[in-house]
Structure 1
Amino acid sequence: MEIVSFFGVDRVITFMLLFARIGGLMVFFPFFGHNQIPITVKTAFSFFLTIFLFPAASAPNTEIYYLAVEILSEVMLGLCAGLLVTIVFAILQLAGEQISLVMGFSMASVLDPQTGITSPVMSNIINFLALMTFLAFDGHHMLLLFFANSLNHIPLGEFYPSANLVHYASKSMVNLFMFGFIMSFPILALSLLSDLIFGMLMKTMPQFNLLVVGYPIKITIGFAVLIAILAGMMELFKELMFRVINDMPSLFFN
């Protein structure tokens, strides 16, 4: 009888809502939602993490008839929080696409295992480095702490996007293009300068073969500049990620 009373309606609803909140972490967040991680592993990790956090969760004051709406609210929490983190990774994705374009690698597209879509090879390389940087400063642990602390500030099934959150997400989308251009600007500027020099050479030396000589030089310059600025790109990525993670409590914990 004690076991039956333990698995009462309130505890079952609490467990399902908490499982939905942790499931949002597994679906919408970088690294946790990686397509190369089997769905069985994600489900098992969500289940055990739900059991681990269950004592810290409080039973919601709701009826079972509204369970579907509250589960949708928990999924919305993971979607909104995951969007803010994903935008930071999208900045490097945009910078990598611009770098691939000026280096002549735009046609060299491969399948990105994290998003499941094809993207230029330079974007994949930069994204892999960003993911390793994210793991190096324990960004995945910070996200787990955010979800654990959310149980003390956001009751289960009662999340809704606030006006500040929508404004912050809109501003982050604008910053996506601005910081993406900033990261790729050194290579873009030197590529434009090399095109100007090659144009002057072709005017003064018509026998100059741009395809044979010019493009290998542009690729060499692009790789040299990329190696020089790569550490700065990862440092800027780290600062942006810390800013987003530090701002998330004030945006979600009203």
Structure 2
Amino acid sequence: MMEFLKSLTDGNVAAFFLLLLRFAGIFAFFPFFDSQLVPVSVRGALSFFMALLFFPLVSYVSLDMTWENLLIAGVMEVLLGFSASLVLQIVFSAIALASDSISFSMGLTMASAYDPISGAQKSIVGQVIALLAIVLALSLNFHHFVFLFIAHTLSTIPLGGFELSGGIIAYLIKAFAQMFLVGFAMAFPILGLILLSDVIFGMIMKTHPQFNLLAIGFPVKIAIAFVVIILIIPAIMLRFKNELQAAFYALNQLF
């Protein structure tokens, strides 16, 4: 007990507080952990226990940190988690963009339901693809990578010493621009086939005006899209896997 009380120095308390904020920033913004299915109380408790577990890895303890510097350091720790989460959130946003494009082209935009992950209304097709993406991410030990990433940052970035460099900003801008290209590439087979079917239905209506597009063409288009989704979903998940692994590599290089 006395040894524990002796360890409660100003430097150790400040270091634990900053480490707790680093974990809080990670669990508050990282994909999967920011889900509505994970309560805030669970994320807070997980941040506290992980800070206790990783505290022996802390090699930098400031002994003369003022309250002003401690506040700035705490903000930078949260900013570290936010900026790191953007690298991964862009990948998940790309597949969300692809799924929304697919739903819109199929005419199933109105077929939406409450998404427990995002806490908003989302198309059924988008929810299925998003759940597959999360399952794939977990199969790649995404949750393990989070702890490895924090251990890596503790050895490269001292507590309170994070700076938003130009390299991180440049990568985020480039990745954000790439997000639209990746999302369109994932949805392109279905978008192209549906566009081709619309052209064919238009030609049929031009030659046969009595053709009822809503009664015949609309269900046929949805059926074709579902068949194509079943065929290309492995390719979509493979592209998502490659982009996620590239994001993991970028995090290790940037932080």
TM-score by length of 2: 0.96
Asked if residue 194 in structure 1 is aligned to residue 178 in structure 2, the reply is no
Q: 1:175 pairs with 174, 178, 181, which one?
A: 178
Moved more, 198-207 or 217-226: 198-207
Asked if residue 92 in structure 1 is aligned to residue 95 in structure 2, the reply is yes
Letter of the 1:250 counterpart: Q
Q: How many residues align?
A: 252
In the alignment, which residue of structure 1 is the partner of 2:5? 4
Q: 1:165 pairs with 156, 164, 168, which one?
A: 168
- SS across alignment from 2:122: strand
Shift of 1:40: 1.8
In the alignment, which residue of structure 2 is the partner of 1:135? 138
Question: Contact 1:21–1:75 at 8 Å: present in 2 too?
Answer: yes
Asked if residue 184 in structure 1 is aligned to residue 187 in structure 2, the reply is yes
Q: 1:115 pairs with 96, 113, 118, which one?
A: 118
- SS across alignment from 2:35: coil
In the alignment, which residue of structure 2 is the partner of 1:29? 30
Q: 1:242 pairs with 240, 245, 250, which one?
A: 245
In the alignment, which residue of structure 2 is the partner of 1:64? 66
In the alignment, which residue of structure 2 is the partner of 1:52? 53
CA distance in 1, matches of 2:174, 2:229: 28
In the alignment, which residue of structure 1 is the partner of 2:14? 13
Runs ≥4 in structure 1, deviation > 3 angstroms? Answer: none
CA distance in 2, matches of 1:213, 1:124: 27
Shift of 1:193: 0.5
Shift of 1:112: 2.6
In the alignment, which residue of structure 2 is the partner of 1:147? 150
CA distance in 1, matches of 2:115, 2:20: 28
TM-score by length of 1: 0.96
CA distance in 2, matches of 1:5, 1:152: 25
Residue by residue over 1:97-118, the C-alpha shift from the partner in whole angstroms, topping out at 9 and shown as x without a partner, is 1100110111122233222232
Question: Contact 1:24–1:75 at 8 Å: present in 2 too?
Answer: yes
Question: Contact 1:10–1:59 at 8 Å: present in 2 too?
Answer: no
Letter of the 1:166 counterpart: I
Asked if residue 228 in structure 1 is aligned to residue 225 in structure 2, the reply is no
CA distance in 2, matches of 1:3, 1:243: 43
In the alignment, which residue of structure 1 is the partner of 2:212? 209
Shift of 1:51: 0.7
Question: Contact 2:12–2:61 at 8 Å: present in 1 too?
Answer: no
In the alignment, which residue of structure 1 is the partner of 2:42? 41
Residue by residue over 1:126-157, the C-alpha shift from the partner in whole angstroms, topping out at 9 and shown as x without a partner, is 11100000001112211210111110110000
Letter of the 2:120 counterpart: I
Structure 1 residue runs of 5 or longer lacking an equivalent are none
CA distance in 2, matches of 1:139, 1:3: 34
Instruction: Sort the Cα spacing of 1:234 and 1:58 in 2 relative to 1 into closer, same or farther, 3 A.
Output: same
- Seq. identity, %: 40
Shift of 1:38: 1.6
Root mean square deviation, CA, Å? 1.2
CA distance in 2, matches of 1:72, 1:138: 29
Moved more, 54-63 or 204-213: 54-63
In the alignment, which residue of structure 2 is the partner of 1:102? 105
Moved more, 39-48 or 83-92: 39-48
CA distance in 2, matches of 1:233, 1:15: 42
CA distance in 2, matches of 1:2, 1:53: 19
